[in-house]
Amino acid sequence: MNGANASDTFRQEAAELLQSLEQDLLDLAEDPSRKDLLDSAFRGLHTIKGSGAMFGFTAIADFVHAFETAFDHVRKGRASMSAALANVALRAKDHIAQLLTESGTDPEQGSAILTALDEIVERGTADDTASAERWHVRFRLSADAVVNGANPGLLLDEIRAIGPCVVSIDARDVPSFGTGALEDLALVWIVELTCPDPSEAIEDVFLFLRDEMELEITPINAHTEQVRAIGNLPVSQEPPLRRSGEDAVPAIRVAAGRLDELMDRVGELVIVQSRLTELALTLRDPALSAVAEEFDRLTSGLRDTTMSIRMVPIGSIFSRFRRLVHDLSQDLGKDIRLELAGEETELDKTVVERLADPLIHLIRNSCDHGLGSVEQRQSVGKDPAGHIRLEAAYRGTEVSITISDDGRGLDVARLRERGLAAGLIVADQQLTDEEVMHLIFAPGFSTAAQVTSLSGRGVGMDVVKRTIESMRGQVTVASQPGKGTQITLHLPLTLAIIDAMLVRVARQDNATPCWRC
């Protein structure tokens, strides 16, 4: 693997780890007692730091090291998880993502984030020094550790972050000059560490190395039987960051362009198969008909398999909106809860990618317009927290995606009034309530009293409608005043290949997509 490929692979894997980290932090903000989430977040940070240092992303490695050190205090119980800490940690995660894109981040911004992290965790660490003890840590890495990417200097930095320490080297096993391989590592490091029991923290430092190394942790002035030799402990049976339900087989990465090219070839093959079938019907040759039927069977199987490769669970974008709602909740001063359902529903990857922007517009609209403030909700006897539900489900040959809220609902009379003022309808035009509600998708239409950073310009909902219709989908709206609004997107499963019914009218052939039949 050359340097460019290695860097691209690191960026891709780091981006996935950051997405997982974001979900862990959002979950921790809701339930700070989840130690499994703390451990998962810490492992993600540890992996990003180690890989970043290995592939030359030193800015990322340095920042994550400081982030990990501060966050480890929470993991060790020296500080408490809180909404404030989660918010700063999310900012730290965003800064790592910016460093990953090499878009020119402001170093002062990173320093400010780390300072905020330190201030929060230091509030809970003032009393730790009273229980500190002295520990003797001795470790020897495998001979090929450096060749395989380990950096002893970074490992020692991580140990220094655990507590005050003195580091020395035992070089007695270093071979004489001219003997042994120069790249082999023969040094033994000895660290005298002052802190509470560091065993767990030390194990984390050597998380990916301990199978092939020697490691001893001994309380100073203790008996030798208290030595904890953990160098040969078995690695946890669960690999880092694996979540329940995930396939144990690692995914094979394939460039999207290759999948598109494969789909194009299959599409051409399906056309040829259709021509062969029509030819067999015309010639009425039994042998040709048999071949055509077999070719039809094989082509259909290949088409279905190829299409399944392009299918991805819609949960891959649903999870992004948890962060969006979290941030909007703070910006708007509202208590908003997002509920996700049907995340396992699969759609063509092209459809999923194009859905991101419309869903962002709809969720922002629900947060800003649909849900009232805590005071407004309480005044009408509602739960102070507003609820938004994002749900996907199969409906025959299509998928429906519903965004619903328990807010104020749409005011049909007001919508009609604004439609008249904007010239979208005329005074004597007879419209159903549903037709009036569809005015929200008209270009430039807005009911906002003033323009804000979130809405009011009337340029969001028309984009939603155009995007969905460009994917051969449609949008429906339902609302009850005082109870909420429900917007549903109806979409075909895939845009790649669509079965069609051939209809001949007055000697003219017409193809009608079967999803409309």
Q: How confident is the model at residue 128 (pLDDT cuts 50, 70, 90)?
A: very low
CA–CA gap between residue 186 and residue 170 (Å, rounded): 9
Overall residue count recorded for the chain in this entry: 517
Quote the pLDDT of residue 182.
Answer: 55
Query: Exposed e or buried b for every residue in 183-206, given b needs 16+ CB within 10 A?
Result: eebeebbebebbbbebeebbebbb
> Do residues 308 and 318 both lie within one domain?
no
pLDDT digits (tens, 9 = 90+) for 345-370: 998 888 888 898 899 999 998 998 88
> Do residues 24 and 114 both lie within one domain?
yes
Structure tokens at 387: 């609820």
Please determine, for residue 509, whether its predicted confidence score (pLDDT) is greater than 80.
no
37, part of any domain: yes
What is the pLDDT of the chain when averaged over all its residues? 81
pLDDT digits (tens, 9 = 90+) for 393-417: 998 878 999 999 999 999 899 999 8
> Residue 79 in contact with residue 121, Cβ under 8 Å?
yes
> Do residues 483 and 397 both lie within one domain?
yes
Q: Which residues sit opposite 387 in a β-bridge? A: 337
DSSP type of residue 370:
I
Quote the pLDDT of residue 388.
Answer: 95
Please determine, for residue 338, whether its predicted confidence score (pLDDT) is greater than 90.
yes
Structure tokens at 114: 């780390």
CB neighbours of residue 153 within 10 Å: 8
CA–CA gap between residue 151 and residue 55 (Å, rounded): 12
> Residue 44 in contact with residue 20, Cβ under 8 Å?
yes
The larger pLDDT score, comparing residue 143 to residue 458, is at: 143
> Is 52 buried (19+), middle (13-18) or exposed (0-12) by CB count in 10 A?
buried
Quote the pLDDT of residue 125.
Answer: 52
> Do residues 209 and 320 both lie within one domain?
no
> Do residues 154 and 211 both lie within one domain?
yes
CA–CA gap between residue 305 and residue 299 (Å, rounded): 10
Average of pLDDT values for 285-291?
91
Instruction: Look at the block and give the residue holding tokens 């947060």.
Output: 367
Angle of CA points 290, 293, 296, to nearest 5°: 150
Please determine, for residue 5, whether its predicted confidence score (pLDDT) is greater than 80.
no
CATH code, domain carrying 272: 1.10.287
Least confidently predicted of 155-159, 297-301, 506-510: 506-510
Q: Given 229, 244, 277, which residue is the final one in a domain?
A: 229
Average of pLDDT values for 245-265?
65
pLDDT digits (tens, 9 = 90+) for 190-226: 999 888 888 888 888 888 887 888 999 988 864 333 3
Please determine, for residue 500, whether its predicted confidence score (pLDDT) is greater than 80.
no
The larger pLDDT score, comparing residue 450 to residue 226, is at: 450
Please determine, for residue 243, whether its predicted confidence score (pLDDT) is greater than 80.
no
> Is 498 buried (19+), middle (13-18) or exposed (0-12) by CB count in 10 A?
middle
CA–CA gap between residue 441 and residue 460 (Å, rounded): 8
Please determine, for residue 452, whether its predicted confidence score (pLDDT) is greater than 60.
no
Structure tokens at 178: 């001219």
Least confidently predicted of 189-198, 222-231, 326-335: 222-231
CATH code, domain carrying 89: 1.20.120.160
Q: How many domains does the chain have?
A: 4
CA–CA gap between residue 243 and residue 504 (Å, rounded): 53
238, part of any domain: no
Please determine, for residue 170, whether its predicted confidence score (pLDDT) is greater than 80.
yes
The larger pLDDT score, comparing residue 42 to residue 221, is at: 42
DSSP type of residue 226:
G
> Residue 375 in contact with residue 492, Cβ under 8 Å?
no
Structure tokens at 297: 């069977």
Least confidently predicted of 74-78, 419-423, 431-435: 74-78
Q: How confident is the model at residue 179 (pLDDT cuts 50, 70, 90)?
A: low
Reported as type and span, the H/E element at residue 166 is strand 165-170
Please determine, for residue 254, whether its predicted confidence score (pLDDT) is greater than 90.
no
Please determine, for residue 2, whether its predicted confidence score (pLDDT) is greater than 70.
no
pLDDT digits (tens, 9 = 90+) for 87-124: 899 999 999 998 988 665 677 888 889 888 888 887 65
Q: What is the DSSP string of 476-494?
A: EEEEETTTEEEEEEEEES-
Structure tokens at 303: 């088409």
Of 457, 456, 369, 469, the residue nearest 409 (C-alpha): 369
> Do residues 51 and 116 both lie within one domain?
yes
Please determine, for residue 245, whether its predicted confidence score (pLDDT) is greater than 70.
no
Quote the pLDDT of residue 497.
Answer: 60
Average of pLDDT values for 440-467?
70
Helix (H, G, I), strand (E, B) or coil at 17: helix
CATH code, domain carrying 394: 3.30.565.10
Structure tokens at 9: 């692979």
> Do residues 111 and 146 both lie within one domain?
no
Q: How confident is the model at residue 319 (pLDDT cuts 50, 70, 90)?
A: confident
For 287, the domain range is 256-312
> Do residues 422 and 319 both lie within one domain?
yes
Least confidently predicted of 33-47, 223-237, 340-354: 223-237
Q: Given 281, 297, 312, which residue is the final one in a domain?
A: 312
Quote the pLDDT of residue 194.
Answer: 84
251, part of any domain: no
